[in-house]
């Protein structure tokens, strides 16, 4: 049965969300879309569909919401902040793609992420972008004009079987590596999010070395590891359902590892982390995004007010 994707246009009042977590390296987040066609079985953002009364199952990758007026909403927010912060510290750093991929396939036509970048380029606010897609290369012209602190390519394996089983509709890992190298050669700081590290699947010594070695060969500035975790039960349920389908022999062991906590026990995690650090040292890579100096953001004071009419409609492609 062919996959049926539903796209829904959603007008939003605000696209830039405040992040009040001191440990995060950014103060604001932007997600031009809700839901993601990549359909990664481990995606923690799957639970966000439940906030809209939807299911955290395959609805997440088959029902995509497009914030069609995101650029206008962003312009309005930044103009308002400019007026309220006159003479004070800048607005802070922005992360794009913290919940869903800003360069998922629909972006090729919708161009909502690109429109947001055009707004941010006028304000010169430091930003980072997280993606699995080489589509980001389309926007090199804008990225060169922006104080980009990092483009983070999520890559947790080069094993094609694991990739197809766990990320059924995402771009191939080596395509992401090639895109990262192109960005680096264009002077745009880029690296790899080794995320999520999947126990017994992507944390084997040969798996880890393959990714880290390839990252170094493709000029990554860093490889930042992060282990699989389940902050919401809906995500855990969906992940285990997929695991039972593609790797039934691992279901019991995963159940033991995550029985008492949403995170891996330290007794399992720490030896893997030590192995990763040894590989990073071997290939001379940083474990986190290096400190990158950017010019101070300039907050414009002439931002145009966007319209405040909010409508919603659905259509299928």
The reported pLDDT for the residue numbered 44 is 82
DSSP state of 275: H
Angle at 17 between CA 15 and CA 20, to 5 degrees: 175
Q: CA-CA distance, 241 to 61, in Å (whole number)?
A: 16
Q: What is the pLDDT of residue 55?
A: 56
Residues sharing a CB contact under 8 Å with residue 254, sequence separation 6 or more, in sequence order? 199, 200, 240, 243
For 47, the token pair is 């639970």
Query: pLDDT truncated to tens, each residue of the chain (317 aa)?
Result: 567 888 999 999 999 998 877 777 788 999 999 999 988 988 887 766 455 555 555 777 888 999 999 999 999 999 988 887 675 555 789 999 998 999 999 999 999 999 999 999 998 989 999 999 999 999 999 999 999 999 999 999 999 999 999 998 999 999 999 999 999 999 999 999 999 999 999 999 999 999 999 999 999 999 999 999 998 888 899 899 999 999 999 999 999 999 999 999 999 999 999 999 999 999 999 998 875 443 333 333 333 323 322 223 222 22
Q: How high is the pLDDT of residue 27?
A: 87
Ramachandran angles phi, psi of 191, nearest 5°? -160, -170
Q: For domain 11-30+69-289, is the CATH number 3.80.30.30?
A: yes
- Contact yes or no for 173/195 (Cβ under 8 A): no
pLDDT at 168: 86
- Can you tell me the distance from the alpha carbon of 207 to that of 40, in angstroms, rounded to the nearest whole number? 19
Average model confidence (pLDDT) for the chain? Answer: 86
290, 150 contact by CB (below 8 A): no
Residue 293: burial class (beta carbons within 10 Å; 0-12, 13-18, 19+) = exposed
* Strands of the 148-154 sheet, one edge to the other: 16-18, 28-30, 94-96, 127-131, 148-154, 190-197, 223-227
* C-alpha atoms less than 13 angstroms from C-alpha of 202 in its C-beta half-sphere: 25
pLDDT the model gives residue 233: 86
CA dist 240 to 169, 201, 237, 250, 258, Å?
A: 18, 14, 5, 10, 11
Give the pairing of strands 16-18 and 28-30: antiparallel
């Amino acid at each position: 049965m062919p996959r049926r994707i539903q796209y829904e246009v959603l007008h939003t009042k605000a696209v830039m969300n405040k992040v009040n977590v001191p440990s995060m390296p950014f103060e604001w987040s932007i997600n031009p879309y809700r839901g993601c066609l990549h359909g990664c079985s481990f995606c923690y953002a799957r639970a966000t569909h439940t906030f809209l009364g939807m299911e955290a199952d395959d609805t997440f990758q088959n029902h995509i919401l497009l914030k069609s007026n995101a650029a206008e909403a962003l312009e309005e927010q930044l103009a308002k902040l400019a007026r309220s912060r006159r003479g004070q510290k800048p607005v802070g750093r922005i992360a794009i793609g913290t919940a869903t991929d800003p360069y998922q396939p629909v972006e090729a036509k919708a161009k909502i992420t690109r429109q947001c970048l055009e707004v941010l380029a006028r304000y010169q606010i430091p930003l980072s972008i997280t993606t699995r897609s080489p589509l980001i290369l389309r926007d090199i012209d804008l990225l060169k004009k922006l104080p980009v602190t990092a483009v983070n390519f999520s890559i947790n394996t080069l094993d094609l079987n694991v990739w197809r089983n766990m990320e059924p509709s995402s771009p191939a890992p080596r395509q992401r590596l090639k895109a990262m190298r192109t960005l680096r050669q264009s002077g745009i700081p880029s690296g790899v999010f080794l995320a999520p590290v999947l126990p017994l699947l992507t944390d084997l010594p040969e798996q880890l070395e393959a990714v880290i070695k390839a990252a170094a060969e493709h000029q990554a500035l860093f490889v930042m590891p992060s282990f699989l975790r389940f902050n919401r039960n809906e995500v855990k349920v969906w992940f285990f359902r997929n695991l039972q389908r593609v790797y039934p022999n691992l279901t019991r062991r995963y159940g033991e590892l995550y029985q008492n906590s949403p995170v891996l026990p330290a007794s399992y995690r720490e030896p893997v982390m030590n192995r990763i650090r040894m590989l990073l040292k071997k290939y001379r890579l940083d474990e986190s995004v290096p400190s990158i100096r950017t010019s101070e953001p300039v907050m414009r004071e002439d931002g145009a007010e966007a319209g405040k009419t909010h409508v919603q409609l659905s259509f299928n492609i």
